[in-house]
Chains A and B, each alone.
Chain A
Amino acid sequence: MIDFSRVQKELQECSKDIEASGIKVTPVSDNLVHLTGIIPGPVGTPYEGGTFRLDITLPDGYPFEPPKMHFVTKVWHPNISSQSGAICLDILKDQWSPALTLKTALLSVQALLSAPAPDDPQDAVVAQQYLKDHQTFLSTARYWTESFAKTSSLGVEEKVQKLVEMGFPESQVRSTLEIVGGDENMALEKLLSS
């Protein structure tokens, strides 16, 4: 059973200093089980300027069990799956503590963006590139940020509007955008191939 009063208070706390941290947590569903987190890309990294969206699902045991988080926005990072957005971070697994909150967990994810740990990779390809061809890694990561993290900030409705104008049915556009994590170009590809 989720401690909803705690989640509610966490959301209130988080909304208090949204200006300072830039971290937002908003509920997707009414029951506070499914939430969306948004973290700004850390300054001085290839993720700077991007806005990264994470899908958060609270397990029944929360806060005694860690929240399930994965990136919706595509990220080029050794510890984040470039395919699924899965995050390799200890505090979201065995090092979770009930004293942590959604906000502190998201802050940790933000810190992970600025301090990759390629020795313990989630995405082996990215980790290899990070270690062997760092410049390419940086340019790729920057490119992904430009492509995915910034366009996503335009908002889903605008992308839906564009694709609908291209002649695709709205429901299909929305579901496709959902699948590809809000990436407009990938959604277009998928829509064309389907």
Chain B
Amino acid sequence: MVSDSITHNAPIASAPNSRDFSKKKRTNRSAKLKQCKLDVRREQWLSQVGAVKSKCCKEDQNGARKERARSLENLRRRDEDNSNDSGSMHHDSDSESPSNSPTNSLLCGNSGTNPGTNFIGSSSSSSSVSGSSGGGCCSGSITEEEEEDGCLDDWEAVADALAADDDNNKQEPEHDRSCSQSPSESQLSVQSDSLHELANGLSLDSVKSMPDGARMVPSVSENNRRAWRPDDAFRPQSLPNLAKQRSFPAADRHFGQGGVPWACNNVLAAPSSCPICYEDLDYTDSSFLPCLCGFRLCLFCHKRILEEDGRCPGCRKPYEHDQVESEAIVQGGSMTFRLARSCSMIARS
């Protein structure tokens, strides 16, 4: 299975960095042993969560139960064919640490996706469950897997690299504190504590936090299969806003329609054709407002008028700039720049 993940992931691997190789040694040693342990613990956890679910479904928010069920489903699926799960985002992180055991790579993967998901999840999760706040290791199987050294290192490395939001930074000291003891042991104890709490239903907080944590897993697995939506609350702020970029060509697409959207700000609605020559106004023409009265005309007719009396056909007032001035403003850019350029084109032809 390990080798499977390697062969599957290696071609996709962007660039395994040096820290991954150091991790490789540590994690490979006990991969098989841990896998056995983890399987046992996963079963344990699943039964516990099932108990919690039956007890505390009233506290669950809408959909939390469903999502948790999905998360459990996800967990099973990941353990069974983790290496084949090429669609989800944790796979990308797998490729960063190709030699990790599948479960470990799953954890690392969730750590990798942490900045996006943990941002929300940790805000609602209580401090009693450090596992849920500790990055993407929010789902049961993941928290148990956190005992691995390499994984912890990897989380810290990723967190250092991607420390984008405050929540991450807040959690780090807590994490460090647990790491300063025996990282694997302390982490395990914390996790098992929280799991016991869950199992016994002692703390509502922890119970609530668990669905929150569980909710994050499906959100990870679902959201990571597609691009961030612009209105997505999970969306990292550092991502470029495509909606803005899209708005520019969208405006350009109105080109042929007489520049209707451009006319909204102006005194008069832009006509679809020049009132002087009756030719269709193009994009430049319809964004061209030579007179404060709002009378629009094409650049050719405007140029012709400037050559003669230079008065606006709409209000009969002289245009504020004559052709000589507009030629001089060529360096200035914007509207007058386009005007001047068009005029000079006419003059050459």
Tell which of A44-52, A95-103, A123-131, A150-158 binds the partner.
Answer: A95-103
Query: Does B304 reach chain A (CB closer than 8 Å)?
Result: yes
The 8 Å CB contact of A97, one of B277, B279, B304, B313, is B313
Contact in complex: A99, B276 (CB < 8 Å): yes
Contact in complex: A99, B313 (CB < 8 Å): yes
CA distance A130 to B279 in the complex (A): 45
In this complex, how many residues of chain B approach chain A with their Cβ under 8 Å: the count is 15
Query: Does B295 reach chain A (CB closer than 8 Å)?
Result: yes
Contact in complex: B316, A95 (CB < 8 Å): yes
- B-contacting residues, A74-126, CB 8 Å: 95, 97-100
CA distance A122 to B279 in the complex (A): 37
Chain A neighbourhood of B313, CB < 8 A:
97-100
Query: Does B166 reach chain A (CB closer than 8 Å)?
Result: no
Residue of A nearest to B295 (CB): A99
Query: Does A9 reach chain B (CB closer than 8 Å)?
Result: yes
- A-contacting residues, B269-326, CB 8 Å: 275-279, 295, 297, 301, 304-305, 308, 311, 313-314, 316
Contact in complex: B304, A64 (CB < 8 Å): yes
Query: Does A67 reach chain B (CB closer than 8 Å)?
Result: no
A97-B316 contact, Cβ under 8 Å, with A64-B304, A64-B305: yes
Chain A neighbourhood of B308, CB < 8 A:
61, 64
Return B311 CB to nearest CB of chain A, in Å.
8
Return A24 CB to nearest CB of chain B, in Å.
20
The 8 Å CB contact of A99, one of B279, B304, B314, is B314
The 8 Å CB contact of B277, one of A6, A95, A100, is A6
Residue of B nearest to A95 (CB): B316
The 8 Å CB contact of B278, one of A6, A64, A100, is A6
Q: Mark A1-18, 1 if CB is under 8 A from B, else 0.
A: 001011001000000000
Residue of B nearest to A3 (CB): B277
CA distance A100 to B313 in the complex (A): 8
The 8 Å CB contact of B301, one of A5, A9, A61, A98, is A98
CA distance A3 to B304 in the complex (A): 12
Chain B neighbourhood of A99, CB < 8 A:
275-276, 295, 297, 313-314
Chain A neighbourhood of B301, CB < 8 A:
98
Chain B neighbourhood of A63, CB < 8 A:
276-277
Residue of B nearest to A9 (CB): B278
CA distance A11 to B6 in the complex (A): 79
CA distance A179 to B296 in the complex (A): 43
CA distance A180 to B93 in the complex (A): 99
Return B143 CB to nearest CB of chain A, in Å.
76
Most B Cβ at <10 Å: residue of A3, A64, A100:
A64
CA distance A100 to B312 in the complex (A): 12
- A-contacting residues, B129-159, CB 8 Å: none
CA distance A100 to B295 in the complex (A): 13
Return B74 CB to nearest CB of chain A, in Å.
67
CA distance A99 to B305 in the complex (A): 11
Contact in complex: A98, B305 (CB < 8 Å): yes
Return B318 CB to nearest CB of chain A, in Å.
13
Q: Mark A49-67, 1 if CB is under 8 A from B, else 0.
A: 0000000000001011000
CA distance A9 to B301 in the complex (A): 17
Contact in complex: A5, B278 (CB < 8 Å): yes
Return B85 CB to nearest CB of chain A, in Å.
66
Chain B neighbourhood of A9, CB < 8 A:
278
Chain B residues packing against A (C-beta within 8 Å): 275-279, 295, 297, 301, 304-305, 308, 311, 313-314, 316
Rank and list the top 6 A-B pairs by shortest CB-CB distance, nearest first: A99-B313, A97-B313, A98-B276, A98-B313, A9-B278, A6-B278
